[in-house]
Structure 1
Amino acid sequence: MSLASELKVPSHTSTKILASQAANINNNLIIQPLHLEISLRNRRVTLYRGKNRIKSYPIAVGRQNWETPIGNFRVRTMLENPTWINPFTGKAIPGGDPENPLGKYWIGFWTNGKNWVGFHGTPNPDSVGKAASHGCIRMYNNDVRELFYQVNMGTPVTVVR
């Protein structure tokens, strides 16, 4: 079915007007995809729908020698109450344990096959706004919960300086 027949456009309507109307209709009806942009310099992650900024959140980023990777990625894992594995000892701390530094939500977007980088909460809210993590994006617990319920597997994540 053509767009003209779906819109019930009279046959005498010019093609030029129809193209303009179609562009406006498409912009209003097609839901643009979400994507995230992390600014390491500004220590913020911004959620976009298409080109429209939805919300920006303060973050902590990787500290020296544990820098957050730069590039284009996609959300690869999403977990509630994630288990944390200490990168030095290999000791696992289960989700929900007060000693678990990940909080209640994990949004993973990078891995080298052994280590992961992602968004998570923190029991140390004073670290947000600093270069303090092992490469991960620390967020206030309420912010990462909000973000968790907005993004999906496959959501693009861009990390820039």
Structure 2
Amino acid sequence: MNRYRAIQKAAMEYYYKERNKNIHTPEEIRGAFVTGAIWADVNSGLDLNSMAFGEAIQLMKYGDRIRRSGWKDQGKYIWLKAAEIIPCDLCQDPRLKSIADENGGNIETLGTIYMKTEDNKILAGWTPSQADILSNDWTIVR
């Protein structure tokens, strides 16, 4: 069983064990999965410090932040920002307000990968290089 499947199995087991404790909202379900994945990392000897990109992406979908150990700056990491609906009154950009008005008062955003850069800026729409995709040095940011 590969690491991702073992982590997913541990996360599912934890979720099923905890769901009788009134875990119903998406945030509570996601929290139970993340807790199960962390439990798997700490208690079952799974190595989450040398993952393939695909495994790291799956953990990002559960809410984890990830980075490559090969990146020079260890403060740099990426995470998945889920799709959401933003009300017009939260839009400050006139173009976004116009789009929201055309959309009935809301903007529906698509999910994207964000990066915290080495100079503490946020990059929206991070795209991996071929080296990033082929590397096996992805880790979870704790």
Q: Please classify the TM superposition score into its range, dividing by the shorter chain length.
A: under 0.3
TM-score by structure 2 length?
Answer: 0.28
Higher strand share: 1
Question: Per residue, is there more helix in 1 or in 2?
Answer: 2
Based on CA coordinates, which of the two structures has the bigger radius of gyration?
1
